[in-house]
């Protein structure tokens, strides 16, 4: 809901309010973003008076906003800030005018509530075409220059989300230069908040870092060209002592896939400013007379009840307003990806033998990863040449797809369309397509260069080459990869004074391509990937409903990575695979059931040579897939909760079915106790809680087998292996029928864990990296 009362704007969602107004000088003063407050018509005047900054005397070493004014913009909560009028904090906007000056002073002109929202033109948005959401449009004009700044606020009531974006219009007779323009700014009247950010590196995405910002500026940003694994654009700003269940928390994200910048700036007056938008580093946009520049859309949410509610807001919002197309609400196929099974050793026969085993296991989609196109035997060649290697695929993509379809599986294919290898036909013919700086050697990443998507003909090349691959008969899934950071950012198609536009124009070019291809192929399921999660963001998610969360498929590592994503993204956007052990990234061994349990909480896939699995593992994988199919709608459509550091839970929207999982890091002897509590179950329902009966391989007990064996068994001997093949130890059984109230508030004390003091069938074997899944069904 949006209410305009005089010069005050009240934006409300189900649980939050966002309120701001106009000062006598025409500045936009921010009053409140937080818990919903409803102000009656009679109370408006006094409520606004109560919420406004009071000024009666000057303030030390500050600049007054104007002559005869005591207003100090540095000590006010503002909706937008600029430079030159006394506000010394991180600005929202910085423009260089034709006279060389950079002072801006944007003053309120008018505001209107739109029933039909105005849409972004060149970037993805939370608003789908034709969607009926309320939008507030606020128009500000520069006090002395003919330049207009338009602010858009869109309210998503049910998800407790408000989005913001801005448009700058140049009505000067000459060019102006935008040095910085953010998407959103939030000023808060306290310091010492905690910035919670998520980043890492390749294989280590989304590690949570907490930083209390008492003073100065804390920045979460990237200039890598992609939203990056170093610093995801999703950021939380919370009370220092906020927890999963309590405390004020703000969550922000940006619907953008390039260089982004989030700053938490605490002023000398103990006020905190948060801004998010395109990274100003190496950004400079020349705006000609009559032209406008639009920023990406920023997403904001607030929870008065800790991280959990904030994450639910974000999950619901992303599912409902970002993910779109045929697969938005459709549980995804279980796939087998060839990468860790075969790497570049692709051949028709290898793919078909993987497909046969995959079919037998219950897999639904076979994905041929890298290595299938002309001359691609390692990562040094061929990017850009999107024709099949006939030596590897004699029947081409379509011939292979047909054979995979005949086996009873869908067929998917890997591409990396934004790249060019120096060793490629494309580079021979069109070296100018590569993003390089004339006269300089290019700094390669993974032996490849980036195609300059700012050039229209390069975009056409990418679209056309992809039309051939994606449009091949039998292709129903595409993994769109991107495997390097940017270097040598330069476009030969732009004049020198416009090179600061290059990185953003690249993103706009990419969006143009993605829009065209996803609209042309609405039945194809697209998976986003950038060496794992190097471009996991809401911009890509608006085109591709799922993203390969990390190249790290180690189940234990994945518990941290997936937990990181869960703060800001629904798990239905994060793909996760069961892979071989020792794991290819860590050489760690984790139990097969843990690999499944962790992957099942994302969008499940396998990335393992099923043909080389032993019979026991293959049987277990078959059973996993059967279980997953029974529970897929819950994993996919349910609300995800972090119950504690080693427990996840997912609950169906109707609260009738749920799954929870606990896991272990390193186990300790003589430690036995574990309780599971639940979150999100209906307290008036009765639930059946049970685990899947496990059958333990006796080899897990090593030479301890001799404590029960009638004859001595030498460890790893033929006898030991033979016994292990035929004799299994039954695992513990957990089976209860109890109320949701008891589960949520008291919990279940599980069977005693193995602690080095004995084992029987009532013992939970919970060794290093073990896990358990518990299924919960309402019996009402």
Question: Where on the chain is the footprint of ligand DGJ (CB under 6 A)?
Answer: 339, 369-370, 414, 481, 483, 529, 531-532, 548, 551
Gap between the Cα atoms of 192 and 212, Å rounded: 6
Q: How far is the CB of 483 from ligand DGJ (least distance, A)?
A: 5
Type and span of the H or E element at 198: strand 193-199
Rg (CA), the chain: 28
Residue (483 or 678) nearer to ligand DGJ, CB = 483
Q: How far is the CB of 344 from ligand DGJ (least distance, A)?
A: 8
Gap between the Cα atoms of 101 and 112, Å rounded: 31
Catalytic site residue 41?
A: no
Q: Which of 265, 385, 410, 551 is catalytic?
A: 551
Q: Which residues contact 680 (CB under 8 A, 6 or more apart)?
A: 639, 641, 649, 651, 655, 658, 744
Gap between the Cα atoms of 533 and 548, Å rounded: 6
Residue (103 or 377) nearer to ligand DGJ, CB = 377
Beta strand extents in 416-554 (DSSP E only): 419-421, 448-450, 475-480, 525-528, 546-548
**φ and ψ at 504, to 5 degrees?**
-70, -40
Q: How far is the CB of 403 from ligand DGJ (least distance, A)?
A: 22
Q: How far is the CB of 296 from ligand DGJ (least distance, A)?
A: 25
Residue (135 or 531) nearer to ligand DGJ, CB = 531
Q: Which of 370, 481, 537, 593 is catalytic?
A: 481
Q: How far is the CB of 383 from ligand DGJ (least distance, A)?
A: 10
Residue (80 or 342) nearer to ligand DGJ, CB = 342
Residue (335 or 651) nearer to ligand DGJ, CB = 335
Gap between the Cα atoms of 112 and 105, Å rounded: 21
Q: Which of 94, 82, 90, 123 is CA-nearest to residue 261?
A: 90
Gap between the Cα atoms of 502 and 507, Å rounded: 9
Please give the residue whose beta carbon sits closest to ligand DGJ in the complex.
370
Gap between the Cα atoms of 209 and 201, Å rounded: 13
Residue 576 tokens, joined: 């996760």
Residue (237 or 367) nearer to ligand DGJ, CB = 367
Partner residues linked to 48 by β-bridges: none
In 90-246, which ranges are continuous DSSP H helix? none
Q: Which residues contact 97 (CB under 8 A, 6 or more apart)?
A: 145, 147, 172, 176
Instruction: Sort strands 546-548 and 292-294 into parallel, antiparallel or unpaired.
Output: unpaired
Residue 447 tokens, joined: 């032996």
Catalytic site residue 551?
A: yes
Residue (151 or 529) nearer to ligand DGJ, CB = 529
What is the CA angle 659-665-669, rounded to 5?
Answer: 110
Residue 50 tokens, joined: 């109560």
The DSSP result for 606-630, as a single string, is EES-GGGS-HHHHHHHHHHHHHHHH
**φ and ψ at 285, to 5 degrees?**
-120, 125
Residue (23 or 337) nearer to ligand DGJ, CB = 337
Active site (catalytic) residues:
481, 551
């Amino acid at each position: 809901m949006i209410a305009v009362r005089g010069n005050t704007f009240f934006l409300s969602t189900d649980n939050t309010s966002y309120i701001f107004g106009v000062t006598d000088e025409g500045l936009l003063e921010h009053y409140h973003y937080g818990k919903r407050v409803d102000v009656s018509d009679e109370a408006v005047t006094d409520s606004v008076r109560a919420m406004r900054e009071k000024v009666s005397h000057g303030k030390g070493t500050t600049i007054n906003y104007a002559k005869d004014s005591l207003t100090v913009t540095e000590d006010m909560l503002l909706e937008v800030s600029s430079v030159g009028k006394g506000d010394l904090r991180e600005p929202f906007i910085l423009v260089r005018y034709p006279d060389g000056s950079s002072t801006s002073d944007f003053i309120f002109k008018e505001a209107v509530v739109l029933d039909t929202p105005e849409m972004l033109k060149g970037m993805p948005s939370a608003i789908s075409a034709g969607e009926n959401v309320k939008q507030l449009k606020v128009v500000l004009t520069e006090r002395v220059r003919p330049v207009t700044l338009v602010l858009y606020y869109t309210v998503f009531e049910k998800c407790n989300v408000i989005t913001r974006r801005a448009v700058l219009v140049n009505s000067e007779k000459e060019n102006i230069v935008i040095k910085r323009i953010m998407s959103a700014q939030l000023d808060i009247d306290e310091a010492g908040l905690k910035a919670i950010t998520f980043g890492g590196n390749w294989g280590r995405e989304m590690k949570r870092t907490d930083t209390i910002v008492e003073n100065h500026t804390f920045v979460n940003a990237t200039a890598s060209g992609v939203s990056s694994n170093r610093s995801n654009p999703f950021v939380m700003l919370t009370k220092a002592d906020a927890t999963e269940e309590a405390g004020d928390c703000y969550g922000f994200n940006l619907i953008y896939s390039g260089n982004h910048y989030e700053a938490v700036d605490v002023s000398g007056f103990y006020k905190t400013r948060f801004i998010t938008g395109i990274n100003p580093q190496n950004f400079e946009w020349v705006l000609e007379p009559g032209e406008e520049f639009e920023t990406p859309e920023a997403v904001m949410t607030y929870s008065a009840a800790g991280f959990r509610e904030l994450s639910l807001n974000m999950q619901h919002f992303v599912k409902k307003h970002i993910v779109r197309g045929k697969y938005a609400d459709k549980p995804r196929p279980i796939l087998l990806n060839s990468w860790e099974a075969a790497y570049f050793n692709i051949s028709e026969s290898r793919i078909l033998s993987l497909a046969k085993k995959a079919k037998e296991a219950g897999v639904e989609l076979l994905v041929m990863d890298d290595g299938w196109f002309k001359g691609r035997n390692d990562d040094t060649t061929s990017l850009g040449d999107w024709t099949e290697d006939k030596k590897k695929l004699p029947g081409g993509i379509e011939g292979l797809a047909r054979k995979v379809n005949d086996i009873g599986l869908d067929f998917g294919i890997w591409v990396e369309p934004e790249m060019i290898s120096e060793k490629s036909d494309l580079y021979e013919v069109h070296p100018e397509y590569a993003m390089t700086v004339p006269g300089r050697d290019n700094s390669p990443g993974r032996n490849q260069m980036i195609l300059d998507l700012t050039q229209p003909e390069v975009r056409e090349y990418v679209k056309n080459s992809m039309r051939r691959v994606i449009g091949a008969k039998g292709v129903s899934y595409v993994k769109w990869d991107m495997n390097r950071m940017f270097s040598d950012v330069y476009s030969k198609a732009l004049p020198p004074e416009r090179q600061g536009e290059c990185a953003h124009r690249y993103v706009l070019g990419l969006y143009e391509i993605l829009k065209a291809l996803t609209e042309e192929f609405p039945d194809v399921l697209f998976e986003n990937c950038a060496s794992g999660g190097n471009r996991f963001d809401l911009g890509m998610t608006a085109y591709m409903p799922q993203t390969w969360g990390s190249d790290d498929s180690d189940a234990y590592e994945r518990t941290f990575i997936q937990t990181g994503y869960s703060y800001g993204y629904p798990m239905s956007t994060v793909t996760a695979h069961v892979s071989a052990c020792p794991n290819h990234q860590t050489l760690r061994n984790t139990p097969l059931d843990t690999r499944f349990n962790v992957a099942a909480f994302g969008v499940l896939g396998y990335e393992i040579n099923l043909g080389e699995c032993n019979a026991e593992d293959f049987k277990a994988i078959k059973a996993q897939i059967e279980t997953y199919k029974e529970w897929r709608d819950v994993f996919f459509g349910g609300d995800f909760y972090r119950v504690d550091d080693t427990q996840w839970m997912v609950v169906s929207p109707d609260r009738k079915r749920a799954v929870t999982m606990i896991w272990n890091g390193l186990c300790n002897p003589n430690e036995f106790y574990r309780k599971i509590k639940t979150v999100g179950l209906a307290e008036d329902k009765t639930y059946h809680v049970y685990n899947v009966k496990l059958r333990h391989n006796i080899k897990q007990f090593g030479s301890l087998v001799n404590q029960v064996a009638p004859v001595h068994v030498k460890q790893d001997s033929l006898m030991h292996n033979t016994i292990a093949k035929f004799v299994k130890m039954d695992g513990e059984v957990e089976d209860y029928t109890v109320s949701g109230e008891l589960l949520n508030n008291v919990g279940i004390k599980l069977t005693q864990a193995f602690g080095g003091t004995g084992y029987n069938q009532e013992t939970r074997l919970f060794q290093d990296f073990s896990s358990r899944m518990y299924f919960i069904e309402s019996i009402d």
